[in-house]
């Protein structure tokens, strides 16, 4: 797909992987919409990216609907949804807090579904479109303390396969990108230390992957792609 003048919506686009994806798509000529919850941070990111900002929380059905209405009013169409917004929680099962567990699923699973539902309604109507879900290698195997985050990424992977089966007859491509550990602020927010490390993946590596899979001709697509660092050193 030629990205020039395409319209892309990137959730969680004010920082980290989402910011890098928005930057990569904008660099390829796409018109980019970024969403985020923090208005100041969102405004700064939009100014830097020359993107259209929409303050929205993907866990809010009202915010999701407003995101699509605002985008369509501004650009008249949407060609790409990147479901990037995500949050993490890492806790032993015996210490798991129900409210924190629910928050992870609200963003990583329900939020992705709400955004994709509105995308699908638009894409089916125009007989074409692209949904890119940012998953994780956490969705490929379990690990200690991973009950909330890993399970949410397993769920996203399952939803991706369901959406792909439903939407292929409408010429909608549904991708899943599974990064391994990426150096971003996600770690700090999730409660663990992650020092800068040039041997591990950075946000721009995932952005490159997203741009690359989208740029393949529409007659084909990469269903799922996992990205590892070549030789990471702790």
Domains of the chain in start order, with CATH, are 7-227 (3.40.50.720)
Cα 118 to Cα 3, 68, 102, 175, distances in angstroms: 21, 7, 22, 17
Q: Is the pLDDT of residue 54 over 70?
A: yes
What would the pLDDT profile of 90-126 be if each residue is shown by its tens digit? 999 999 999 999 999 999 999 999 999 999 999 999 9
- Under the banding of pLDDT at 50, 70 and 90, the label for residue 195 is confident
- Under the banding of pLDDT at 50, 70 and 90, the label for residue 154 is very high
Collect contacts of 72-78 with beta carbons under 8 A, ≥24 apart.
72/122, 74/33, 75/7, 75/31, 75/33, 77/7, 77/122, 77/126, 78/7, 78/8, 78/9, 78/119, 78/122, 78/123, 78/129
Catalytic annotation, residues: 149
What are φ and ψ of residue 132, in 5° steps? Answer: -115, 115
Cα-Cα-Cα-Cα dihedral sign, residues 106, 153, 167, 55: positive
Q: Give the pLDDT mean for 66-81.
A: 98
CA distance 119 to 158: 18
Which residues share a beta bridge with 131? 81, 174
């Amino acid at each position: 797909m030629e990205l020039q003048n395409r319209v892309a919506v990137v959730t969680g686009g004010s920082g980290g992987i989402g910011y890098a994806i928005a930057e990569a798509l904008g660099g390829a000529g796409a018109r980019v919409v970024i969403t985020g919850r923090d208005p100041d941070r969102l405004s700064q990111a939009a100014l830097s990216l020359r993107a259209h900002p929409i303050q929205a929380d993907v866990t809010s059905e009202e915010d999701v609907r407003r995101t699509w209405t605002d985008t369509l009013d501004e650009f008249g169409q949407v060609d790409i949804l990147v479901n990037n917004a995500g949050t993490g929680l890492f806790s032993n099962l015996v210490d798991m807090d129900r409210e924190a567990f629910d928050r992870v699923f609200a963003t990583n699973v329900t939020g992705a579904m709400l955004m994709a539902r509105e995308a699908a309604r638009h894409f089916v109507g125009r007989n074409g479109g692209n949904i890119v879900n940012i998953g994780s290698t956490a969705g490929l195997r379990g690990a200690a303390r991973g009950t909330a985050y890993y399970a949410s990424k397993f769920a996203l992977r399952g939803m991706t396969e369901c959406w792909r089966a439903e939407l292929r007859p409408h010429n909608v491509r549904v991708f899943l990108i599974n990064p391994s550990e990426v150096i971003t602020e996600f770690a700090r927010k999730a409660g663990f230390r992650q020092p800068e490390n040039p041997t591990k993946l950075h946000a721009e590596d995932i952005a490159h992957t997203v741009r690359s899979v989208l740029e393949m001709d529409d007659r084909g697509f990469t269903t799922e792609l996992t990205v590892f660092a070549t030789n990471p050193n702790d």
